[in-house]
Amino acid sequence: MITVTENAASHIQNFLVKRGKGEGIRIGVKTSGCSGMAYTLEFVDEIDSDDTVFEQSGVKIFIDPKSLVYLDGTQVDYTKEGLQEGFKFENPNVKESCGCGESFHV
């Protein structure tokens, strides 16, 4: 299961409204960075029948089957820390992450 905070849901809704279309967002993982994996985010215009869909606070989150194994239990938030602003992932599956925070290992 993937959960979304109210703050993240609000930002996702705002992005979709500004964009003018979209079913929600897809969260995935890809091989990248110094720790092995990185999160990916993209708008979903067409639903893939293999996706698992989580709906919370009025937004839909789509996860492909390969990524779900790595993301199960993750909470998505939207934070602002100093000059940095963006989505933050609290993923219980992460064993370690790189110093820059861009990638992780499960």
pLDDT at 39: 87
Q: Indicate the CATH number of 3-95 among 3.30.930.10, 2.60.300.12, 3.40.720.10, 1.20.1250.20.
A: 2.60.300.12
pLDDT at 85: 87
pLDDT at 99: 55
CA torsion, ordered 86, 89, 29, 3, to nearest 10 deg:
-110
3-state SS class at 19: helix
Closest CA to 26 of 66, 60, 72: 60
Question: pLDDT tens digits for the chain (106 residues)?
Answer: 899 999 999 999 999 999 999 999 999 998 876 657 888 999 999 999 999 999 999 999 999 999 999 899 999 999 988 888 899 999 888 876 655 556 566 7
Domain boundaries, the chain: 3-95
